[in-house]
Structures are given as structure tokens and as C-alpha cells.
Amino acid sequence: MNIYLLRHGQTESNSKRVYYGKLDVELNDEGKTQCEAAGKRLKNISFNKVYTSGMKRAIQTAEIALYGKKVELIKDERINEMNLGDFEGKNYEENESQYPEEWKKWTEDWKGYAPPKGESYIEFYNRVKNFIEDIIKLEHENILIVTHGGVIKSIYAYILGENPDLFWKFGTKNGDLTLIKYEYGNFYIDSIVHCE
């Protein structure tokens, strides 16, 4: 099985470097260009299934990258970005000054503590894990998953020994396309390319 992971294109929130997960923002012009570049890399692949998060930026990315392909987009909220609650829409300094106690707890226990009105990393990781475990039960050749940076890093952590601590060992840029192969019960990362 070939599992393609495509991180959504750039948004204004990315360029402003603010925390956002549940905020439902659209792609900017640079993001649309990244999606078109991804589409060129995907044009000769026939997908059995295409999954997106429920967020506009992921759906737009899939629609642009798959332009001309007749394929249904299956929206699955398990691959929505992590919900950062009251921390969303603010940068590091704003959160540290506006929520000093909560920010301290979050930085000291990034896996277990949930930001106000948000979710903890472990809650987030477990929903992503549940999604991937359902995917590998499918007997398909090519699956495309259009999602978010936190989701992709969590998938990496899962396939490399189910170790959430590995989350911080990876970067992922807007427009990155990863190919993961699942063969004989094993995962491996075949390639990661940046589309721009």
C-alpha cells in the first residue's frame, strides 16, 4: 500500500507564525501555487481513496492538487489539526503573557495538558493513530491523505514505533508530500519532497 501525505498549502496564519489548529482559514496565493506543484507530482497516480481533514485549507489543497481527477474527497475529522483552544490565533509571546499559568503548564507537560478549551497532545495523537489503523485495514494500492503538519508528524511518530516523543524530531512544510509504504505489516518512509 502506498500512503501519500500532503500537507496543506500556506495560509496567512502560517506566514504570521501564530498558533492555529481549529481556526478554519483559507489558502493564500503562495499556498495555491504549492498545491498546483503537488498536483503535477500526483497527476499520474490513480487513487483508490482520498481523505482530507474537515478544514477549508485541506479541502482547498486537495481540490487544487487533484484538479481534473474524478475522485470523492472523504472528510474525516480525526485528521483535523490539534485543537489549541484559547491559544489559537496568537503567537508565542501573546500566549505566554495572556495565559501565563496555562502556558507554563502546557510547556512543562506538552503531551498531557490541554490548553483551555482545547485538547491534549495525547488525545490528538490517539485520534490520528485510530485513523491510520483504520487506513491500513483497507486493501488499496494508493491512498492520499491531505492534512496538517501536526497530523503528519504524529503519523511519523506512530509508524516509527508508536512513540509520541518523536513528534518534535521532524519538520514539515506547507506543500510537503510524503510517500509511506506499508508492506508485509511494516511501514517505511519512502520519500519526502517539498512542492513549490
Segment 96-138, tens digit of pLDDT: 999 999 999 999 999 999 999 999 999 999 999 999 999 999 9
Residue 185 DSSP label: T
Query: Is the distance from CB of 38 to CB of 195 less than 8 angstroms?
Result: yes
Taking Cα atoms as reference points, which of 40, 42, 8 lies closest to residue 24?
8
Does a structural domain hold residue 110? no
pLDDT at residue 13 greater than cutoff 90: no
Query: Which domain range does residue 134 map to?
Result: 2-83+119-194
Q: Which amino acid is at 193?
A: V
Does a structural domain hold residue 106? no
Kindly report, residue by residue over 131-181, the tens digit of the pLDDT.
999 999 999 999 999 999 999 999 999 999 999 999 999 999 999 999 999
Q: Does residue 20 or residue 174 have the better pLDDT?
A: 174
Q: Does 81 participate in catalysis according to the annotation?
A: yes
Q: Which of 12, 81, 88, 101 is catalytic?
A: 81
> What's the total number of domains in the chain?
1
- CATH code at 61? 3.40.50.1240
Instruction: Tell me whether strands 186-194 and 49-52 are parallel, antiparallel or unpaired.
Output: unpaired
Report the pLDDT value the prediction gives residue 164, as an integer from 0 to 100. 96
Kindly report, residue by residue over 71-92, the tens digit of the pLDDT.
999 999 999 999 999 999 999 8
